[in-house]
Amino acid sequence: MNKFTLLFFFLFTHFVCSGTNFYIKQGNSTSNNGLTPATAVGLNSTGAIPNAVLSTIQPGDFIYLIGTFTNPSYTANSPAGVPVDDPRFWHGENTVRISNLNGSAGRYITLKPYDSTTLLKGDGGNILRIQNSSYLRIDGFTVQGEVDNLPLSVANALQFVYILGSASNLLDPTPAEIHYRDQDCISNCTPGLVVDGEVYSSLNPNQVYRPTYYDTRGMYLSDVNHIDIVNNHIHHMPGGGLRVSDCEDILIEGNEINDCSRRSSGGTHGLVVTKATSTRTGDDYRISLLRNLVHHNYNEQYSWAPDKTVITPHIDEGKGISLQRNQTVPGVNWDNGRILIANNICYYNGYSGIHSNDGNRIDIVNNSCYFNSYTGSITIGGTNPNGGNIGISISGGTGHKIVNNIVVIDNNMTRSPISTDITTPGAMIVKNNIIYGTTGAVGTDLNIDAIQENTQMVSPQFTNQNAFDFTLVGTSPAIDNAFVAPYVPTVDYYGNARTTPDIGAVEFQSALAVDLLDFSGQATEEGNLVTWSTAMEMKNNYFEVEQSTNVKDWRSLGRVSSKGNSQAAQRYRFQHKNVTSKINYYRLKIVDTDEKYELSKVVSVINERTQKLLVYPNPFSQSIWLEGVEAGDMIHIFDETGKAVRTVRMDIVTDNRFKLDTSALQANKLYFLKTGNTVSKLLKQLN
């Protein structure tokens, strides 16, 4: 092997640092390397990826979870009749636990299900727990809780049970170490019961632990930054659905969160963001909650807090989207940055579709909230006077905007669709919202009345709210009536473009006479093949195929002409050649003869055979071109001794091409250029 060949081999095998796939499964195969599905590595006893594999994961890598994952002591059997000291109630296990996993800017580490059979479930403390991590993308998981297997009677039996931090084993307490809140009663006591009117001693400053079995969370992330949580389905959690804490630069988009917080007595919700942090100046959006579907998250028992000396026997928790303590407090800096909540659909949550408590600089824009008083209206039957925040509400803080939202509430609750306790002048902007009741006009909040502009108290005219279809009919007063400044989303809940923006989460779309039967994509040797078929087409002009690598920024790949008016099935195909990204997203823009259009669903294609890097000319002189690259890719150049002589980040890439200035490199010398997994041998000639 000659010198140059040896050096090439060394660079290729020792400097490859991105784009590797790792495969994880349930089980004890911790000695596997995880580099193929057949050698998938098993999680260790705490649900964590073994350190030997975790330490090799680099920015830009992909982690695929294969099969069904449960916590170590998970059992699907109902625990009815099991004594409260049974360890399964207390074990607090995590199904999958990830700590100290860090990608980098432009090189996110992606966690994805291997296929549609991947399922995360459990009955411990958390199903997916992530700590002290950054630059991650969590994409496309189904996370399933045990609400359907956990009788409410068991949750009630555990409601007021707790142990103190001084217990000998927090995961398996003895009967003597288990306390019941009634034992702390100091006046107006009814022996053996926890009832309204009793007064208790505060448990502060003790650390109090409750059974985790009826409070399991779906996803819980803390001390994290630059995290994308997208396209996941989190459902039927006894505790909260998704909770993100001590966080910055978080995107939560396209998730469905439903039937969570059902068994907890800790005051939980569907989607929670708390204690946002800021490490830089400026008021850009650091936390974004976009295009999420949040519904049927409600409590079925009332909550209590260890530091409170009274217990109010009313259910007033179980919100859809809940922001908590997002302001500067001891230990948490939120002096800069904004939080954006836009294009979300929230319905049938317990109390409040969207609520913020003690937060600053929160924009609630273009959301649709319907009947978010499920507990008071359905569970209790409208008799509970508690929980007045049943639409969109903000308590405390400053710098807020509530703009372009549709809020429909249950008239029988005699509450306000939009409410606040803020009275400070200039602390909040409220504009161009539609508010209504399920059967007519509603009462309004006096604090909102003092500052609101252009509120319409009319029916939004949803297409079929009883079937949870919150699209608009053509006569809706929401159409073309959004306030376009200071912020309006460029697309709606479904990804449809907002031209003359409408109020609410869903932009009105004129009906196109195209019946799309299917739309899919697959990787091939020639690139990614996108196919679709229609059952009927009338006035259809063409299909435009759009592609994205992040489901946010879309570009047109090309057009496919319609086959004309037809009542018969028609099939279409489009080949995306020269694919450069491993994961690509596609959608169809269906355009009629009047240039009106609608967008299809989004499909994803994973292509392991992405375009090879092209580097030319070779030999080179003053510059070289790299083709098949993406913005953010890094270029490393080594001389023939293996010494790194230059590193360049490709920040501006046009049509997957980047021009590199090589004038500073010495002439008549051999160099090795590495980007991604590719190393190219190049010769610089005399100028």
Q: What confidence tier does 14 reach under pLDDT thresholds 50, 70, 90?
A: very low
Question: Does residue 499 form part of some domain?
Answer: no
- Dihedral angle of Cα 469, 473, 476, 480, to the nearest 10 degrees: 100
- Domain shared by 106 and 246, yes or no: no
Q: What is the pLDDT of residue 610?
A: 59
Q: What is the pLDDT of residue 385?
A: 55
Structure tokens at 52: 């030997």
- Domain shared by 566 and 617, yes or no: no
Question: Does residue 381 form part of some domain?
Answer: yes
Alpha helices in 15-45 (DSSP H): none
Q: What is the pLDDT of residue 7?
A: 43
Please write the tens of the pLDDT for every residue from 638-669: 888 778 888 888 877 777 788 888 888 888 88
Structural domain boundaries, residue 112: 18-236
Q: What is the pLDDT of residue 382?
A: 65
Q: What is the pLDDT of residue 236?
A: 96
Question: Does residue 6 form part of some domain?
Answer: no
* Distance, CA of 203 to CA of 207 (rounded, Å): 8
Question: Does residue 9 form part of some domain?
Answer: no
Question: Does residue 501 form part of some domain?
Answer: no
Give the residue, 445 or 76, on which the prediction is more confident.
445
Q: What confidence tier does 13 reach under pLDDT thresholds 50, 70, 90?
A: very low
pLDDT above 90 (res 30):
no
State the average pLDDT over residues 41-64: 91
State the average pLDDT over residues 628-642: 81
- Domain shared by 320 and 396, yes or no: yes
Structure tokens at 277: 């942090």
- DSSP secondary structure, 309-336, as one string: SS---S-----SEEEEEES-BTTB--SS
pLDDT above 50 (res 9):
no
Write down which residue in 236, 266, 298 finishes a domain: 236
Task: Using alpha carbons, select from 165, 164, 203 the residue that is nearest to residue 185.
Answer: 203
Number of domains, the chain? 4
Give the residue, 430 or 633, on which the prediction is more confident.
430
Q: Which CATH number fits the domain that encloses residue 566?
A: 2.60.40.10
Residue type at 673 in one-letter notation = L
pLDDT above 80 (res 594):
no
- Domain shared by 24 and 167, yes or no: yes
- Dihedral angle of Cα 558, 561, 566, 571, to the nearest 10 degrees: -50
Write down which residue in 589, 606, 623 finishes a domain: 606
Paired with 323 in beta bridges are: 273, 356
Lowest mean per-residue pLDDT among 39-53, 203-217, 379-393? 379-393
Q: Beta strands 583-592 and 597-599: pairing type? A: antiparallel
Question: Does residue 565 form part of some domain?
Answer: yes
- Domain shared by 164 and 194, yes or no: yes
Q: What confidence tier does 611 reach under pLDDT thresholds 50, 70, 90?
A: low
Q: What confidence tier does 2 reach under pLDDT thresholds 50, 70, 90?
A: very low
Question: Does residue 518 form part of some domain?
Answer: yes
Please write the tens of the pLDDT for every residue from 410-463: 988 888 999 999 999 999 999 999 999 998 888 899 999 999 999 999 999 999
Write down which residue in 180, 201, 236 finishes a domain: 236
Reduced to 3 states (helix: H, G, I; strand: E, B; else coil), residue 183 is helix
Lowest mean per-residue pLDDT among 1-10, 77-86, 348-357, 473-482? 1-10
Structure tokens at 500: 């003359």
Please write the tens of the pLDDT for every residue from 222-263: 999 999 999 999 999 999 999 999 999 999 999 999 999 999
Q: What is the DSSP letter of 153?
A: H
Paired with 616 in beta bridges are: 625
Range picked from 316-320, 448-452, 607-611 for highest mean pLDDT: 448-452
- Domain shared by 230 and 160, yes or no: yes
Question: Does residue 12 form part of some domain?
Answer: no
- Domain shared by 197 and 269, yes or no: no
Alpha helices in 441-576 (DSSP H): 446-449
Paired with 277 in beta bridges are: none
When computed from its CA atoms, the radius of gyration of the chain, rounded to whole angstroms, is: 28
Structure tokens at 28: 């004890």
- Domain shared by 296 and 377, yes or no: yes
- Domain shared by 82 and 213, yes or no: yes
| CB contact at 8 A, 575 and 547 | no
- Domain shared by 193 and 253, yes or no: no
* Distance, CA of 236 to CA of 239 (rounded, Å): 9
- Please, what is the Cα angle at 55 between 171 and 7, to 5 degrees? 170
* Distance, CA of 158 to CA of 620 (rounded, Å): 74
Structure tokens at 349: 């949550």
- Domain shared by 154 and 244, yes or no: no
Quote the mean pLDDT of the chain. 88
State the average pLDDT over residues 367-382: 86
- Domain shared by 404 and 435, yes or no: yes
Please write the tens of the pLDDT for every residue from 124-135: 999 999 999 999
Buried residues in 310-329 as b, exposed as e (16+ CB within 10 A): ebeebbbbbbbbbbbbbbee
State in Å, rounded, how far the first CA of the chain is from the last one. Answer: 31
* Distance, CA of 478 to CA of 89 (rounded, Å): 49
